[in-house]
Amino acid sequence: MAQLARIKELSGLSLRALARQTGLSSSSLSRYLTGQLVPPWEAVVALCRAVGRDPRPLRAVWAEAAKAGAAPAPRRNDLPADLFDFTGREAESALVEELLNTAGAAAIDGMAGVGKTSLAVRVAHRLAPTYPDGGLYLDLHGFTPGQEPLEPHAALGRLLGALDVTHPPAGPAERAALWRSELSRRRVLVVLDNAVDADQVRPLLPGAGKSAVLITSRHRLVSLDGVPPVSLEPLADADAAHLFGRAAGLALTDEEAVSHVLRQCGGLPLALRMAGARLRHRPGWTVGVLAERLSTTPSRFDSAFSMSLRQLEAVQRRMFRLLGVLPGADFDAAVAGALTDLPPDRVDVALEELVDAHLVQEPSPGRYRMHDLIRQYAADIAADEEPQTEAALRRVLRHYLALAVAHDQTLPAPHRKQPSPGDPAKAMAWFDLEYVNLVAGFDAAVRLGMDEVVAELPQAMRVWFFRHRGTDDQARLLEAAAAAAARLGRDQQRASLLADLGYARAAAGRLAEALSAYELAEQSGPDDGDLAAGLALRIGFVRRDLGDLTAAQAQFRRARELFEKIGNHAGQSQALAFDGWVTLHLGRHDEAVELARASVALADGPAQITGLVTLGVALASHDPAESLRTLHDALRLSEQNNLQHNQAWCHNYLGVALRIMGSPERAIEQHRRAFELLEPLAEVQLEIDFLHTYAETCRATGRYDEALALLDRTIQLARALGRPHDEELARAAREIVRAAC
């Protein structure tokens, strides 16, 4: 399908414009160009005609592709593994399935350990074929010891991230709306586990569409409209005995002893599995012996837990205690090794024993977690019996930091001349997998006063954060890290962290807060030339967006001098490009063209994009052919390097250029494509910029109602983010549009 993508490039048309010209639907054309669907031969002919190309040389390639079929679409499945010994619950399972098929939602409630998650996962696996776009799972930590329940805003960020929306909106309402919009285009089953109350899950519910949601909670969520509750009681004796027998791996003949075990376990599947596992691993025991041992503990919850624990060796009991205070959602064997300070072979044996005893779960190969009820039990024992808790936690936090630094070093980044050997894709996958644990570990480091970990971990996550801008934790982590660096007397590190903090705030549209962070970074007196130059560039961005173009230009020129001094050509190119941009908006057209040409000449590859866009817009009024050629060069570089922000930016300014050239209808297509690309990125900074330019193009084409709606959105955003210059521009434009109506 690369040939078809090349045809689209040659056409110079947006997806929608090309679809209209060829008579194909936009959705079908998108699937053809991305290889998801092999087009019929007639569609290939129509596309070739759109660019005046002979389709016949493509016939053999098309036939081969048609024979092979389209690439299968990836299917996401985050569900934990199904339990092999799941027992009973036929009526409840049938009811949950019926509710998901009819109402698209259900909420399973019941006491701790009663099997809510097991039922939800069992139903989700059974229904998986009916949800072709996958299954998402999220633990909301409503009752997880040592962790606060996940806020809806953060939960939405993680759910959207699972749908590859890496830059969710900052506002709670906008984020929830985007989540509903994404689900409306898919058929996904979402499992929200361990909800604390209705308010936590209400923003996470899907809207219209064929997606469904399955919730578990210890509380009955009766106030959730449209989400019918299904309450679980402890297992009846027959099912409880069956599960106990399966877990024990033997036939049960001593009815009295079995009844005693069932009473002690209270019909809770978790306790029954643990009791059965103890019997299975003690071939010399009878059910009567087990019943007698269980009876020594008065609490039915603690009886099975303590029984399982007493049968373990000292090393395994110590690991169990320490796991109760481990921060994060899950862990691997290496983390358990750092926690216990044991060699890998002993760690593996201990973990296997804990899994066999049902004290630890292994939801996927090599990843472990604890049920909240067991985790609380372990933490309580650790508080009474484990004197080395803090030392163990410190080892884990240093372990996480060392791995984060090592993985970060393999990632290409502007601040790094040469990455370390390694697979960048694997490094990013590690950060994706461990992100929740890294944040939990960071918070633990703050509590323990481990300033070195606090100061260094966000820097090791810099590249990950850059690619996932909008992550809720970033600003909080950077603020704490800068304070830790100050306590350590590391002025250079503090300046770098404050620069990152400013960038995070600017990406969220909070310009005054960004400027404050940048100015604090400057006051730290950075000796590093790259950092000083980068700060000047970033301060210039904020001054530009605040409407002070003269001050912005002064910063861009200072950045250029600093980059030139240290021989950083890419930095020089960027400073020249943005100098050209503000120069153009200050009305000095010829000077802007020269600055943009100088920027392009200094850079290569994607570093040329900013200069090319600046040059393309500057040339639009007197050299349309070169303008379009230059802007399409920028777009091609953005697409080749998968730079979605830049792709959106290029399309938007293709729209501006086409409007200047007197082709406003073609310009509208480009603006719409820019917003299509921008939607999943949720970059407020770009959105405000695009809204201004799109509204002006709508005014030029007589679409006054649409222009007013865009300007109203600009005013709303600018006011929410404290950006008076943008609000002032939008209000002035609104008056012009109203006068033209």
pLDDT tens-digit profile of 116-141? 998 999 899 889 888 988 899 999 99
Q: How much is the pLDDT for 357? A: 74
Q: How much is the pLDDT for 177? A: 86
Q: How much is the pLDDT for 16? A: 57
Say which CATH class 2-68 falls into: mainly alpha
Do residues 611 and 577 touch, judged by C-beta distance below 8 A? yes
Q: How much is the pLDDT for 469? A: 59
Q: How much is the pLDDT for 573? A: 92
Q: How much is the pLDDT for 633? A: 94
261 pLDDT more than 90:
no
Q: How much is the pLDDT for 73? A: 44
Q: How much is the pLDDT for 262? A: 83
Average pLDDT over residues 437-454: 96
Q: How much is the pLDDT for 415? A: 66
Residues paired with residue 109 on neighbouring β-strands, in sequence order: 217, 231
Average pLDDT over residues 489-495: 92
This prediction's pTM: 0.68
Residues found in the chain: 741
Q: Which of 348-362, 436-450, 690-704 bottoms out in mean pLDDT, i.e. has the lowest?
A: 348-362
Q: How much is the pLDDT for 71? A: 43
Q: Which of 243-252, 446-455, 693-702 bottoms out in mean pLDDT, i.e. has the lowest?
A: 243-252
368 pLDDT more than 80:
yes
Q: How much is the pLDDT for 461? A: 95
Q: What is the mean pLDDT of the chain?
A: 85
Q: What tens digit of pLDDT does each residue of 380-420 get?
A: 889 888 899 999 999 999 999 999 999 999 987 766 667 78
* Amino acid sitting at position 595: L
Q: Where are the domains of the chain?
A: 2-68, 76-231, 237-310
Q: What tens digit of pLDDT does each residue of 158-214 get?
A: 898 888 776 677 678 888 888 888 888 889 999 999 999 999 999 999 988 889 999
Q: How much is the pLDDT for 270? A: 82
d(CA 121, CA 117): 6
Q: How much is the pLDDT for 27? A: 47
User: How does residue 144 score in pLDDT terms, banded at 50, 70 and 90?
Assistant: confident
User: How does residue 115 score in pLDDT terms, banded at 50, 70 and 90?
Assistant: confident
Fold of 76-231: Rossmann fold (3.40.50)
Q: How much is the pLDDT for 70? A: 45
Q: What tens digit of pLDDT does each residue of 60-110 get?
A: 666 666 555 544 444 677 888 777 678 888 899 999 999 998 999 999 988
Q: How much is the pLDDT for 83? A: 74
41 pLDDT more than 50:
yes
d(CA 435, CA 315): 29
438 pLDDT more than 90:
yes
d(CA 629, CA 537): 28
User: How does residue 623 score in pLDDT terms, banded at 50, 70 and 90?
Assistant: very high
Do residues 229 and 107 touch, judged by C-beta distance below 8 A? yes
Higher per-residue pLDDT: 613 or 287: 613
Query: With left for phi above 0 and alpha for psi between -120 and 50, is residue 527 left, alpha or beta?
Result: alpha
d(CA 719, CA 94): 50
Q: How much is the pLDDT for 13? A: 57
Q: How much is the pLDDT for 414? A: 63
Q: Which of 555, 586, 559 has the alpha carbon at shortest distance from 570?
A: 559
Q: Give the number of C-alpha atoms closer than 13 A to the C-alpha of residue 72, restricted to the C-beta side.
A: 5
Q: How much is the pLDDT for 307? A: 61
